Structure 1
Amino acid sequence: MKWNLRLAAANRGIWKASEFQRMLAERGLVISAGKMSGLWSGSPNVVKLDELDVICTVLGCGVDELLIPEPENVAQPCHHDNDQSMAVGQDRPVAPRAGGGRSLPPR
């Protein structure tokens, strides 16, 4: 995902992080200078959903304007030559366990 806050803010005439930070604080979202720097620079470590609500409200936009999908950055699935499934971290295929169905309840 690409974080697009700065462009969304610029489209609304908000050019400075400090101005946007003040607008967020007026809506009850107080953000530290460090977190604001990450949000504004385009590489936030964490954005909580309640923070996203306030950001969208202040900008008058939807989440789709702030978060741009980048499907080309997603790894392609690996295809194995054999048809059996491989367990994650295992070098051998996963085989179904033989059994009579359900286990017995505890005594």
Structure 2
Amino acid sequence: MKWNLRLVAANRGIWKSSELRRLLAARGLEISTGKMSGMWSSTPAVLRPDELDVLCAVLDCGIAELIIAEPNTVAQPVAAQEHVRAVGDQGADAVRRIVPKPRTGRSLPPR
């Protein structure tokens, strides 16, 4: 996903995060300076739906303008056989068996 807040805000004439923060506060969404800085400079780690609603209302945009899907950046699943080779198995014929080791005595109970 690509977070597009700065571009959408710039298209609306909002150039500073403090300005956007004031507009959000006027709509009833109080965001801390640290969270606003994180939202402005990079993709936010957590964004609640109600915050997203207020952002869209203030910026007069849709969610699709703020968040752009990038499906081509998602890693392809690894085939099972490739995974086995990557882990270091010797091949399909080599079967690794787990054999328990015999214990050579018992421990004594505490005195």
TM category (shorter chain) comes to 0.7 to 0.9
Q: Which has the larger radius of gyration?
A: 2
Structure 2: give runs of 5+ residues left out of the alignment.
82-111
% same residue: 65
TM-score normalised to the size of structure 1? 0.72
For 1:90, the equivalent position in structure 2 comes to none
Please state which structure has a larger fraction of its residues in helix: 2
TM-score normalised to the size of structure 2? 0.70
For 1:31, the equivalent position in structure 2 comes to 31
For 1:79, the equivalent position in structure 2 comes to 79
Q: How does 1:21-100 map to 2 (within 5 A)?
A: 21-81=21-81
How far apart, in 2, do the equivalents of 1:52 and 1:72 lie?
Answer: 25
Superposed CA RMSD in Å reads 1.0
Look up the SS of the partner of 2:20 in the other structure: helix
Number of aligned residue pairs: give it: 81
How far apart, in 1, do the equivalents of 2:65 and 2:37 lie?
Answer: 19
Write out the 4+ residue segments of structure 1 that deviate beyond 3 Å after TM superposition. Answer: none
For 1:11, the equivalent position in structure 2 comes to 11
Shift of 1:73: 1.9
How far apart, in 2, do the equivalents of 1:2 and 1:79 lie?
Answer: 28
Structure 1: give runs of 5+ residues left out of the alignment.
82-107
Shift of 1:80: 2.6
